[in-house]
Amino acid sequence: MAPETPAGDLRLANLTKTFGAFTAVDDLSLTVPQGSFFALLGASGCGKTTTLRMIAGLEEPTSGQVLLADRDIARLRPYKRPVNTVFQSYALFPHLDIFENVAFGLRRRGIRSVDGQVREMLSLVQLDGYERRRPAQLSGGQQQRVALARALINQPQVLLLDEPLGALDLKLRRQMQIELKRIQTEVGITFVHVTHDQEEAMTMADTVAVMNAGRIEQLGAPAEIYEFPATAFVANFLGQSNLIAGETTGGNGGDLLVTVHGSRFSVPARRSRADQGPVHLGVRPEKLHLVRSADEVPAGSQHLDGTITDASYVGVSTQYLLRTGWGTELSVFAANSGSQQRFAPGDRAVAYWDPGHAFLLGRHADEDDRTTGILDEPVGTSS
């Protein structure tokens, strides 16, 4: 299915939105490649939904451009933009059956013969045979598929998804993540997905932009952002990180040397965002491994010892807290593979890691260790 008019990249150029003295979106510039699945990820209030509404035409920018195939659409009325939006609330017409809900956009444009297109869309979202049901007779996931079909049948150049899975339960949400990615791949339309759910963004998107306070903190492929975050905010918003305060003390070949509470560590220079002064030495919890003593640490690894203060079994892994000698608690995620040693609160343990899995971030001189992730905001919030 191809759009009726030539498509192109979606570009936001110096886009700004202020509400009185508050700046919701601050001089934002980014490019969403044509045909990609792009995610705007951030906490409530970061500006992601305001950005989406400016693309949709539901909010007028204070300044800047919204360019689609190099055409500025920032001042066009919403219905004149080749853009459709799918909301968390579905917004289906309760008095119309599923067929007429999906056909609504075509009928509004004066298209008389809609039967083939509607059935094609219902097949795409795997709702064949549901044509004559009403929205109230469908589950939440099925209603979301109807909303998706209703938007796609208009053949938009860009489909905007505003927390579309937020109202679904966990199991259904994960199923719909896979379905949305399948549909996007099949239709080839640019999807821009706004979410606060890190797993959702990483599961579906080709590119993720992490927003904070109206700006992009980091933009890239999910694996790239996760493995090598650019800032402490990104490190602890996309997943969880142990960020240990230290000082750089020079270099050694391709490594940077770091002193942490009297101990010395090294981090590959290619995995360092800062090369002098105060830094955070970062290690993801799943990259840490626990053993009973330093004698069990593999050659080439680096380690810290401490006392286990908590052990939480969560199915695929056991999540430990290890209190170091200076009082900081490090998170360690140990896979429950059956081959791992088990620890209980009060046990002495050593956490070790491969230096190639660590990273360095710049740190303000007065910042301490930061070892807990940012909690997900409640389902149903927006920004």
| pLDDT tens-digit map of 50-91 | 999 999 999 999 999 999 999 999 999 998 999 999 987 878
Which residue spans of the chain are classified as CATH 3.40.50.300?
6-227
Q: pLDDT tens digit string along 118-152?
A: 999 999 999 999 999 999 999 988 998 999 999 99
Residue 253, Cα to own-chain centre: how many angstroms?
Answer: 35
pLDDT tens per residue across all 383 residues of the chain: 444 444 689 999 999 999 999 999 999 999 999 999 999 999 999 999 999 999 999 999 999 999 999 999 999 999 899 999 998 787 899 999 999 999 998 988 888 889 999 999 999 999 999 999 999 999 988 998 999 999 999 899 999 999 888 777 888 888 889 989 999 999 999 999 999 999 899 999 999 999 999 999 999 999 999 999 999 999 999 889 999 999 999 888 899 999 999 999 999 999 999 999 999 999 999 999 999 999 999 999 999 999 999 999 999 999 999 999 999 999 999 999 887 889 999 999 999 999 999 999 999 877 777 754 433 333 333 34
Contact 308, 321 (CB under 8 A): yes
**CATH for 240-362, among 3.40.50.970, 3.40.50.2300, 2.40.50.100, 3.30.465.10?**
2.40.50.100
Which residue spans of the chain are classified as CATH 2.40.50.100?
240-362
Which fold does the domain 6-227 belong to in CATH?
A: Rossmann fold (3.40.50)
78, amino acid identity:
P
Residue 219, Cα to own-chain centre: how many angstroms?
Answer: 10
For the chain, what is the mean pLDDT? 90
Whether the full predicted model's pTM is greater than 0.75, yes or no, is yes
